[in-house]
């Protein structure tokens, strides 16, 4: 056991270790239990790589045990084996030393490629006095560059405390950052918790370039939101001056889908339209206060802000040329039927309010603006498709500024 940990075969989480809460008395009690032969709870390890294990449950027990074997503290407060109080490991008689050295703790190993199972086990075991928060659990389960990136952004983006109006308490910032990445594809399945777990899992093996790109995008997006909407961007209203996750969704997703230069160009109009939305639109107020995790409400609040950006930005380009790109309103109604599948993401379009009409053969490639060349896509899918190159290049532009 001791050798294992020393050899770094078992990863003892650095964040967790910082929070090592067993005091020497409790650690002594654990050692006493082992010496007396009282069974101690099973320790769960998860295989990370070949023969590399992380501790899912039992971190405190392993750490306490190893600390004692390394002579880091003397036994204190023992009730049964009182004569051992004050003794370091090296001072114990050889018999007792041997007993501890050969003591095999009961260990269950969970194989690689079963992260969902790990999460499940962790959640079930995590019933102690200080229950871990979801993101603390994710931090233990979904290790890797994506997780490191969330922590990196949370610790280095100086606008987050300004926009969030609270401090980073037990990975709350990391969870909000993750929330954006999890929601961004707008494939709403299960719950936020499930979507966020899946997001951590699906990005766990992303390469350095992809990770760098996410970080740059997120930081640029936060920068843009603060520039356009100010410090109150994620408040629900002037009366409720507190970070609101549902408002955050409804701002972050649309702002990530339109070119930065268009948003900046119309910053004042967009700001006042969003202020009006928050202050006067009863539906929007409802979507960000009650039952905020229902998928219909998520889509509706995201669409509300998308429509504002769409209207403000397209009003500006209502030249004769761009009018030729616009489908007549009745085409959308003619095309839509319940169960319509969005060609971009392959998911159903649940409401006519969620979609836009799109050219099958692109307008720029000579495709006509007629019903024969029209299809429906989710608003967010249509924007992802249309603005991808621009958005990416816009965000790239910012990376150098961010590093100043």
What is the contact surface with Zn ion in residues (CB under 5 A)?
342, 344-345, 378, 381
Structure tokens at 306: 């998308």
Residue 309 C-beta: closest distance to Zn ion, Å = 18
Q: Considering the complex, state which of residue 22 and residue 344 has its C-beta at the smaller distance from Zn ion.
A: 344
Q: In this structure, what DSSP letter does residue 237 have?
A: -
CA angle 77, 79, 84 (to 5 degrees): 70
Residue 383 C-beta: closest distance to Zn ion, Å = 10
Q: Considering the complex, state which of residue 132 and residue 257 has its C-beta at the smaller distance from Zn ion.
A: 257
Q: In this structure, what DSSP letter does residue 142 have?
A: S
Q: Considering the complex, state which of residue 44 and residue 380 has its C-beta at the smaller distance from Zn ion.
A: 380
Q: Is the Cβ–Cβ distance between 99 and 65 less than 8 Å?
A: no
Residue 367 C-beta: closest distance to Zn ion, Å = 19
Structure tokens at 58: 């039992």
Q: How many CB atoms lie within 10 A of CB 381?
A: 25
Q: Considering the complex, state which of residue 313 and residue 345 has its C-beta at the smaller distance from Zn ion.
A: 345
Q: Is the Cβ–Cβ distance between 224 and 263 less than 8 Å?
A: yes
CA angle 7, 8, 13 (to 5 degrees): 150
Buried b (16+ CB within 10 A) or exposed e, 213-252: bbbbbbbbbbbbbeebbeeebbbbbeeeeebbebbbbbbb
Residue 347 C-beta: closest distance to Zn ion, Å = 6
Q: Is the Cβ–Cβ distance between 216 and 151 less than 8 Å?
A: no
Q: Considering the complex, state which of residue 131 and residue 296 has its C-beta at the smaller distance from Zn ion.
A: 296
Residue 381 C-beta: closest distance to Zn ion, Å = 3
Residue 369 C-beta: closest distance to Zn ion, Å = 21
Q: Considering the complex, state which of residue 57 and residue 358 has its C-beta at the smaller distance from Zn ion.
A: 358
Residue 345 C-beta: closest distance to Zn ion, Å = 3
Q: Considering the complex, state which of residue 289 and residue 340 has its C-beta at the smaller distance from Zn ion.
A: 340
Contacts of 120-127 with CB under 8 Å at 24 or more apart are: 121/44, 121/56, 121/57, 122/56, 122/57, 125/44, 125/56, 125/57, 126/57
């Amino acid at each position: 056991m001791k050798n294992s940990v020393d050899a770094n075969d078992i990863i003892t989480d650095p964040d967790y270790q910082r929070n090592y809460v067993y005091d020497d008395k409790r650690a002594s009690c654990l050692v006493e239990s082992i010496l007396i032969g009282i069974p101690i709870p099973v320790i769960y390890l998860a295989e990370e790589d070949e023969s590399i294990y992380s501790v899912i449950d039992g971190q405190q027990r392993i750490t306490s045990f190893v600390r004692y074997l390394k002579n880091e503290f003397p036994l204190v407060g023992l009730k049964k084996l009182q004569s051992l109080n004050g003794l370091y490991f090296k001072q114990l008689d050889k018999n007792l030393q041997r007993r501890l050295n050969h003591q095999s703790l009961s260990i269950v190993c969970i194989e690689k490629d079963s992260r969902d199972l790990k999460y499940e086990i962790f959640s079930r075991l995590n019933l102690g006095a200080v229950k871990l928060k979801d993101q603390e659990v994710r931090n233990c389960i979904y290790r890797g560059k994506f997780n490191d990136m969330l922590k990196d952004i949370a610790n280095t983006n100086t606008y987050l405390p300004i926009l969030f109006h609270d401090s980073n308490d037990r990975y709350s910032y990391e969870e909000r950052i993750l929330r954006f990445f999890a929601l961004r594809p707008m494939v709403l399945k299960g719950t936020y918790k499930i979507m966020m777990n899946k997001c951590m899992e699906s990005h766990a093996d992303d390469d350095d370039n992809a990770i760098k790109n996410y970080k740059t995008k997120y930081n640029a997006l936060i920068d843009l939101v603060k520039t356009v909407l100010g410090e109150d961007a994620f408040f629900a209203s002037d009366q409720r001056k507190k970070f609101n996750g549902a408002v955050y969704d409804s701002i972050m997703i649309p702002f990530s889908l339109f070119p930065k230069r268009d948003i900046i160009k119309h910053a004042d109009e967009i700001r006042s339209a969003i202020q009006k939305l928050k202050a006067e639109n009863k539906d929007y107020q409802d979507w960000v206060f009650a039952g905020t995790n229902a998928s219909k409400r998520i889509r509706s609040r995201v669409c509300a802000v998308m429509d504002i950006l769409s209207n403000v930005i397209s009003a500006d380009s209502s030249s004769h040329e761009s009018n030729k790109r616009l489908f007549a309103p009745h085409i959308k109604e003619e095309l839509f039927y319940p169960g319509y599948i969005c060609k971009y993401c392959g998911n159903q379009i649940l409401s006519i309010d969620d979609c836009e009409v799109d050219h099958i053969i692109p307008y720029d490639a000579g495709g006509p603006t007629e019903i024969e060349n029209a299809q429906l896509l989710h608003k967010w899918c249509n924007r992802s498709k249309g603005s991808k190159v621009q958005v990416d290049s816009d965000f790239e532009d910012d990376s150098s500024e961010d590093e100043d």
